[in-house]
Each structure stands twice: as structure tokens, then as C-alpha cells.
Amino acid sequence: MTLTVLKPGPLTSVQDLGHGGYAALGVPHGGACDALSLRLANLVAGNDEGAAGLEITLGGVALRFESATTFAWAGAAMPVTLDGIALNPAHRYTAGAGAVLRFGFVVRGARAYLALAGGVAVAPVLGSRSTGLIAGMGGFHGRALRRDDVIECGDAGPRVPGVAIAQAERGEHLRVLAGPDWSQLGHEQQRQLLTTPWQVSPASNRMGMRLTGETLELDAPSLDSHAVMPGCVQLPPSGEPIVLLADAQTTGGYLRPLVVIQADLWRAGQFKPGDTLRFVEVDHRAALAALAAQRDWLARLRYALARGTA
């Protein structure tokens, strides 16, 4: 099964759930910025939830199916059509040969995920089919998709019953824990960080989401390089935070006052330039409870799909 790229949009790339175990070598985790939506699309399409799919940033994409293909999409709210017929997220569809799938520009959120039955067939690099755009590694020739690229799909797995799943809502906040350098901020700086309505900067990318707002006056000492990972909130000398995303570097020298809880990493991947967000501090118990609830939701989804009752 193949499809041809007619319009690639601002940034469309092959992504899965990323690498694991290579941070010590300086390899970013990578993978989908919103892994929850990729998992959802894959499960609805009948794939393993970690199969490679297409991450569509901001929309504006058109794809032509060259053979009959089953697919599903999830993530950001955007108009999606198949030969002009509107499609819903988290539903499974089958396209005939020659059908054109179009993703309009986002209404809410930042990234949509297209799961194709069998997954996108590209060679794995370091155990992942994700595209490392900065290193030019993995995915489809290590780069974003371009017009006339031809995407191959793997062998489709067993058919699952037709389903329609409700997507999670992003909300306008990110839940955070106090980070390793929280105590290096004064009380007023801590208050500012947690109460300021931060706006997402156009300078954001898959490495990090840069925020603008009430600049914090910093008097903390500079730090030696230390480990960072997706979800770390860095505070550079400019006093404007950076939320690290999937392609984040593995070390950095900025303060790390906050860390986005694991259950909200997908939310961080759905803010686009111009959006506003606030940080909401929670404790470890609440963070663990949120992660357990998310895992329970996925487990119930898998069970419902297996039984055809979703």
C-alpha cells in the first residue's frame, strides 16, 4: 500500500514513539510530540500503538492513496476530508485507490497524527522509525516530507471492529512538578512563573516550546551542563521559559525550575504559536494518579477494541 504526497504542509514527518536508552550518547528521545494521539490513531486503525505514522503540524496537507488503505487520524482539531467528505477523528476509514485525503489548517491544537494500516514502512534507526530532523536521521530519508514523496505502508494486521473513540481535551494548562532548580528561584519569581499567562512563541519547534510573557528577573548563578529531557521547563537568562519537547537535547545549562508531569506531555505537543498556557503545580501523588488514569484509559480502550465495544 502506498500514498503520494500532493501537499506536504508546513512540517509533516514520520514519527513513532521514539528512541529509548540512547540519551547517554546524546541522542534525543524523539518520536511524536503528542504520543497519546499517535497511540489512539494507531489503535483505531488496527495497528500496534507504537507503529510509525505521520505527524502533521498545523495542517495544510494533501495525500493521494495509490491503493485501498485503512486509516485513522487523531490529535489537533482541523477539517479533514476524503474526496471532499468530512471525516471525524478517532474513527477508522478505508480509502480507495486514487482517493485524496486533505488536512485543512488547525482550528485548535498543533499536531494531527495519521495512522495507516500496517504502519509507515521505513527502516528503523536505533530501534525507532521516527525522524530526527536536526540530525537528519531515520524516518523518511531523515527529513520532512516533500511534494511527490511516495510513502510505503507495512502489512496490515488483523481487522478490528469499526469504532469511534472520544479524544482527550487539551485544556489551557500544563501540570508541573517542582524541578531540580526550583529552590534557586526567589518566592516572587516562583509566583510569577506559576501565575503568568504564557504565550507560545513562533520560535518554537519540536525541540522546545518557547514562551513569552512577564519576564522573570534572574539572579541565580549559571549552571554546569546537566541532564534534560522532554518535559523539562528551562529558564534561560532571558527570563522566558522553554518547555522541552520530543526532540529536546539531552544536556543543558539553564535552570530547570519545573517539570511537566508525564501524563501531560501530550498536551505540551498540542500548543501552537499564539496559544496561551499556564503552569499548574501539583504534587507527586497527583502526578502519579494522573499517569495511572491515563494508562487505565488506554487499557480500557485496548480491551474495548478487542471486543468491538468501543
Residue 162 within a domain: no
Residue 43 within a domain: yes
| pLDDT tens, position by position, 200-240 | 999 999 999 999 998 888 876 667 889 999 999 999 998 99
Segment 181-186 shows an average pLDDT of 94
Which H/E stretch holds residue 86?
strand 85-86
Whether residue 96 is found in the same domain as residue 186: no
Whether residue 78 is found in the same domain as residue 204: no
Domain count of the fold of the chain: 2
The torsion defined by the Cα of 127, 32, 230 and 48, in degrees rounded to 10, comes to: -60
Residue 165 clears pLDDT 60, i.e. is over it: no
- CATH code for the domain of 248: 2.40.100.10
Q: Residue 144 contacts by C-beta under 8 Å, 6 or more apart in sequence?
A: 8, 11, 12, 13, 131, 133
DSSP state of 268: H
Q: What distance lies between CA 302 and its chain's CA centroid?
A: 20
Residue 53 within a domain: yes
Find the range with the poorest average confidence among 3-17, 47-61, 217-231, 262-276: 217-231
Whether residue 225 is found in the same domain as residue 180: yes
Whether residue 196 is found in the same domain as residue 270: yes
How far apart, in whole angstroms, are the C-alpha atoms of residue 16 and residue 10?
A: 19
Provide the domain limits for residue 207. Answer: 173-288
Residue 159 clears pLDDT 80, i.e. is over it: no
Whether residue 182 is found in the same domain as residue 224: yes
For residue 82, the SS3 value is strand
Residue 303 within a domain: no
DSSP string across 117-169: TT-B----BTTB---BTTTTBSTTTTS---TT-EEEB----------B-PPPP
Q: Which of 119, 152, 185 is the last residue of a domain?
A: 152
Residue 295 within a domain: no
Instruction: Look at residues 275, 276, 277, 269 and name the one whose alpha carbon lies nearest to residue 11.
Output: 269
Give the pLDDT of residue 182. 96
Whether residue 84 is found in the same domain as residue 210: no
Residue 152 clears pLDDT 90, i.e. is over it: yes
Residue 163 clears pLDDT 60, i.e. is over it: no
Find the range with the poorest average confidence among 50-54, 140-144, 213-217, 280-284: 213-217
| pLDDT tens, position by position, 257-274 | 999 999 999 999 999 999
Give the pLDDT of residue 164. 54
Q: 131-140, 153-162, 213-222: which has the highest mean pLDDT? A: 131-140
Whether residue 196 is found in the same domain as residue 111: no
Give the pLDDT of residue 169. 66
Question: In the chain, what are the helix, strand and coil shares in percent, each to the nearest 5?
Answer: 20, 30, 50
Residue 156 clears pLDDT 70, i.e. is over it: no
Q: What distance lies between CA 77 and its chain's CA centroid?
A: 14
Give the pLDDT of residue 91. 93
CB 262 within 8 A of CB 268: no
Q: For residue 135, how many other CB atoms are within 10 A of its CB?
A: 14
Q: Which of 96, 121, 152 is the last residue of a domain?
A: 152
Residue 308 within a domain: no
Looking at the chain, the whole-number percentage of residues with pLDDT higher than 90 is 83
Q: Which of 152, 187, 208 is the last residue of a domain?
A: 152
Residue 98 clears pLDDT 70, i.e. is over it: yes
Segment 145-167 shows an average pLDDT of 73
pTM of the model as a whole: 0.93
93 vs 216: which has the higher pLDDT: 93
Give the pLDDT of residue 9. 97
Residue 97 within a domain: yes
Whether residue 211 is found in the same domain as residue 145: no
Give the pLDDT of residue 307. 77
Whether residue 91 is found in the same domain as residue 201: no
Whether residue 109 is found in the same domain as residue 181: no
Whether residue 20 is found in the same domain as residue 123: yes
Give the pLDDT of residue 218. 82
Looking at every residue in the chain, the average pLDDT score rounds to: 92
Long-range contacts (CB closer than 8 Å, 24 or more residues apart) made by 282-291: 282/175, 282/176, 282/177, 283/177, 284/177, 286/175, 286/261, 287/175, 287/177, 287/261, 287/262, 287/263, 290/175, 290/261, 290/263, 290/264, 291/261, 291/262, 291/263
Residue 41 clears pLDDT 70, i.e. is over it: yes
Distances (CA, A) of 240 to 215, 245, 271: 6, 16, 16
Whether residue 148 is found in the same domain as residue 178: no
